[in-house]
Structure formats: C-alpha cells, structure tokens
Amino acid sequence: MPTPTEIPASHRDLVESPGVVVLSTVGADGYPQSTANWYLLDGDVIVTSLTRSRQKFRNLVAHPKATLFFFDPTNQYRTLEIRADAAIEDDPDLTLLKRVLAHYGQDLESFGGPLEDRVVVTFTPHRAVTFG
C-alpha cells in the first residue's frame, strides 16, 4: 500500500461529516463517470461500499485511479479534491456496509439498497487540492 497523502486539516471537516462525495472513475470508453456516494473516513483513508453490478466497480477494477470531490453544503466554493488509489476487497459479512450506514444514521433494515455482492473500496489519498 502507498503511504497516504495527509488530508488537509483545514478541510478535514468536509470528509468527517456525513455528506455525499462526488466519486469520479474512468470508464473503458475514456469518459469519466461521476456519482454521489456515501463514504467513511477511516484513519487516513476513505472507504465506501459498492456492489459488483455497478459501472463504477467495473471502472475501478480496470482503472484503480479515482477522484473524490467534497464540498461544503453551505459554501459551494469551499472544496476538497482527493485523487486516490483504489483497492477492492469483498465484504461478505457486510461489516463495512454496516459501518457506513451507521455514519448516516441508518442500518441494514432501513437501507433500501442491495445487500448482495458488496465490496469495500479503500481510497488511499495520492494528492489533495483545496479551495476556499
């Protein structure tokens, strides 16, 4: 594993709060794909839960370089961009999914999404860029 780039203290609150992050991956056709995601800060890395059926999962398998874009919901010009290396592991017991859901005040029962074929994606920060 590479040594994570530190998340700047000035913008760490954007990563700690249970907001959404815009995750951008790169597709086989060369276009970026961007989606809103739930996530969890886990020490120096950011983790999220995906299912194997999603295009972003396939993109990350083929091209494990992604960017996470955080913004302050009260000030759209205060932003944090984290370019990251992605690593994927299975989550057969949904351990990580449960942790992510708990961060958003949810559990497996209240969560409406699919529970099959869940994986953990760990994003190790490679570069951080702040604005505002």
Nearest distance in Å: CB 120, its own copies: 21
Q: Is 31 or 108 the residue whose CB approaches its own copies more closely?
A: 31
Residue 87 within binding range of its own copies, rule CB under 8 A: no
For residue 84, what are the contacts with CB-CB under 8 A and spacing of at least 6? 46, 65, 66, 67, 68, 123, 124, 125, 126
Q: Which of 9, 43, 77, 110 binds its own copies (CB under 8 A)?
A: 77
Asked if 76 contacts 126 with a C-beta cutoff of 8 angstroms, the reply is no
Q: Is 84 or 120 the residue whose CB approaches its own copies more closely?
A: 84
For 20-95, strand residue ranges (E) read 21-26, 32-37, 40-42, 45-51, 65-72, 75-90
- Contacts with its own copies, residue ranges (CB under 8 A): 19-20, 22, 24-26, 29-36, 63, 65-67, 69, 71, 73, 76-77, 79, 81, 83-84, 126-127, 131
